[in-house]
Amino acid sequence: MSTTEQPTTTFGTWDVYEDRDLGGGKREMVLNMGPQHPSTHGVMRLLLTLNGETIIHADPLIGYLHRGVEKIGENKRYTQFTPWTDRTDYTAAPLNNLGYILAVEKLCGIVAPERAQYIRVIMAELSRIAAHMVWLGTHALDIGALSMALYTFIEREKILDIFEEFCGARLTTNMMEVGGFSRDLKPSTIEKIERLLVEFPPAQQDWEDLLSDNPIWIARTRGVGVIEPEAALDYGLTGACLRGSGINYDVRKAQPYLIYDRLDFEVPLGTNGDVMDRYLVRMEELRQSLRIIRQCLDQMPTDGPIMANESNYVIPPHHTVLRTAEDMQRHFVWVIKGFNPPKGEVYVAIEHSKGELGHYIVSDGSPMPYRMRIRTPDFVNLQVLPYMAQGAMLADAVALIGTIDIVLGSVDR
C-alpha cells in the first residue's frame, strides 16, 4: 500500500486506527488526531501516517467549522455584514472588521477622517496583541508550559475591558463602521490604554524569562518545523510564518494603509524559519505594537470629526438623526435599504495577526455584495503543515499546529 493513499470518507475512518505492514520490517500506522482534541485549537482533524514516532505524512482535514460566511455575505447588505467578519477570526475581531470596512471604503471611494484612522490603528494593534495572547497561551500550553495560558490571558482581559468600554462587546466587537466611528474614544478608555502600556512590558518580560532561555523550550522549538524561504514563498505564507524564514513582507510597511506610513516601527525577521524563530518574531511584534500605540496616542489629533462626510455611504450622526427630518430619513434608508456602491471589484489586504487578511468584494451596484471573498491567512498558512511535519516526531505535531497559529473559524469560514 502506498503511503499516499488517503481514506476517502471522513466518517468511515472515524475510529479506525490502521496498521499497515509494508514488509521488510517497515510498518506504518495511520493515527487519527480527531476533531475533538485539546491541542488542535478548535475542530481540526489530523490524519498522521506514522512510522514509529516519526511522521511520514500529515493530512489536515478541515471544514468542521465551515459555516458559509461567504454565502451569507452575498445575502446581507454591506451595512449588515460586519458581525460575520467578527466570527471568522474570533481572537482578533477588530482586525477582521477593519479589513472588511477598508475594502468597502475603497469600493465606495471614501476615506475616514484622521482622528478615526488613529483610533482604528490603536484598536487594530490592541487586537493584534490580544490575538497573540491567545496564540502564546495555547501554544505554550500545548508544548507543556501550562501556566503560560494563565499569565497571558490576564493581559488579554485588560484589552477586552478596553474593547468593552469602547464598543460594548468583549469578543465579537463589530467595532468599525464605514466612514469612521459613531462614538468617540472616552478619556477613561485612553487612561486604560495608557495603563496597559505601563503594565504590559514587565509582564512580557516575565514570559520571556520563563520561556526564551528555557532549555526545555529551546529543545522543543529549536530546529523543529523549519520552513525554507523558497518554500515559504511557494506556499503563499504570510505573517510571522513568512517573516520567521527571513522574508520581509509586512503589509503595514509594504503597502501602508490607514496612517501606518507616519508611524515608526520595525518588522522583526527570523533567520532559521523554525518554531523558535516564529515565537521570537511574534514576541517582538508585541513590543512593536505597543510602540505603535504609544505613537498614536501622542500624535492623535485631540479633536476633529470621527466620521466621514460622504452622505451617500455613511450613517448620519446620531444627534442630527434625532433632530432633523432629512437625516432621519437618510438613517432609515441607510439601515433598511443600505447604500449602493459603484460597480466594480476591490481587493484590500491588511496585516492581520496571522498574516495577510484580504477581502475581495465584487459589487454589481446593489446594496448587497455580489461576491464576498475573505482570504484568510490561516487557510493558506495551514497548507504548509504537511511540509513541516515530514520527518518530525509525533510530539512535535502539536508544536507545529501551534506555530502556524490557526483559528478554525478563520480557516473554515
Partner 1 sequence: MADQQDDLQPTATPDDVAVIDEDNPWLTDIAREQLVESAHDKTGLARIHPSLVLTGFWGPLAPDHPAFVALSAAFGDAVVDISFFRDEVTIRLKPHIWADAHLLLRDDQDLSYRLLTDLTAVDMLRLRAAPRFDVVSTLYSIKRRWRLRLKAGIEDGEAIETLTSVYAAAGWLEREVYDMFGITFDGHPDLRRILLADDWDEGHPLRKDYPIRGYTPYVEPGFEDEAVPRVKDFRRL
Partner 2 sequence: MENRFEENVLTTSVDWVFNWARRSSLWWLQFGLACCAIEMIAAMQPRFDMGERFGMLFRASPRQADLMIVAGTVTKKMAPVVRTLYDQMSEPKWVISMGSCANVGGPFDTYAVVQGVDQVIPVDVYVPGCPPVPEGLYYGVLELQNKVIKYDRVLRKEGREAAEAQREEDRAATAAAMDRPVTAAAR
Selected binder of partner 1 within 48, 58, 276, 346 (CB under 8 A): 346
All three cell numbers of 139, joined, read 501554544
Say if residue 161 is exposed, middle or buried (CB neighbours under 10 Å; 0-12, 13-18, 19+): middle
Selected binder of partner 2 within 68, 144, 301, 304 (CB under 8 A): 68
* 159 lines the binding site for partner 1 (CB under 8 A): no
Tell me which residues in 325-344 interact with partner 1 (CB under 8 A): 337, 340, 342-344
Tell me which residues in 197-236 interact with partner 1 (CB under 8 A): 231, 233-236
Is the Cβ of residue 26 or residue 71 nearer to partner 2 in the bound state? 71
* 207 lines the binding site for partner 2 (CB under 8 A): no
* 15 lines the binding site for partner 1 (CB under 8 A): no
* 246 lines the binding site for partner 1 (CB under 8 A): no
* 37 lines the binding site for partner 2 (CB under 8 A): yes
Amino acid at 362: V
The 99-138 contact track toward partner 2, x by CB under 8 A, reads: -----------------------------------x----
Give Rg (Cα) of the chain. 23
* 56 lines the binding site for partner 1 (CB under 8 A): no
Point out which residues pair with 351 in neighbouring strands.
356
* 395 lines the binding site for partner 1 (CB under 8 A): no
CB contact at 8 A, 357 and 378: no
Question: SS3 sequence, 285-353?
Answer: HHHHHHHHHHHHHHHCCCCCCCECCCCCCCCCCHHHHCCCHHHHHHHHHHHHCCCCCCCEEEEEEEEEC
Amino acid at 393: M
Candidates 18-26, 42-50, 65-73, 81-89; binding stretch for partner 1 (CB under 8 A): 65-73
Q: Which residues of 113-130 are buried (b: 16+ CB within 10 A; e: fewer)?
A: bbbbbbbbbbbbbbbbbb
* 9 lines the binding site for partner 1 (CB under 8 A): yes
Q: Which of 281, 283, 285 is CA-nearest to residue 271?
A: 281
Q: Which of 277, 287, 278 is CA-nearest to residue 240?
A: 278
The 149-188 contact track toward partner 2, x by CB under 8 A, reads: xx--xx-xx--x---------xxx----------------
Is the Cβ of residue 137 or residue 358 nearer to partner 1 in the bound state? 358
Cα 155 from Cα 56, distance rounded (Å): 39
Cα 317 from Cα 79, distance rounded (Å): 15
Say if residue 101 is exposed, middle or buried (CB neighbours under 10 Å; 0-12, 13-18, 19+): buried
Residues that bind partner 2 in the complex, under the rule CB under 8 A: 10-11, 14, 34-38, 42-43, 63-69, 71-72, 83-84, 86-87, 90-91, 134, 149-150, 153-154, 156-157, 160, 170-172, 408-409
Residues that bind partner 1 in the complex, under the rule CB under 8 A: 6, 8-11, 62-63, 66, 68, 70-72, 74-76, 106-107, 109-111, 231, 233-238, 247-249, 254-255, 310, 337, 340, 342-347, 349, 356, 358, 360, 362, 364-368, 370-371, 373, 375, 379-380, 382-383, 412-413
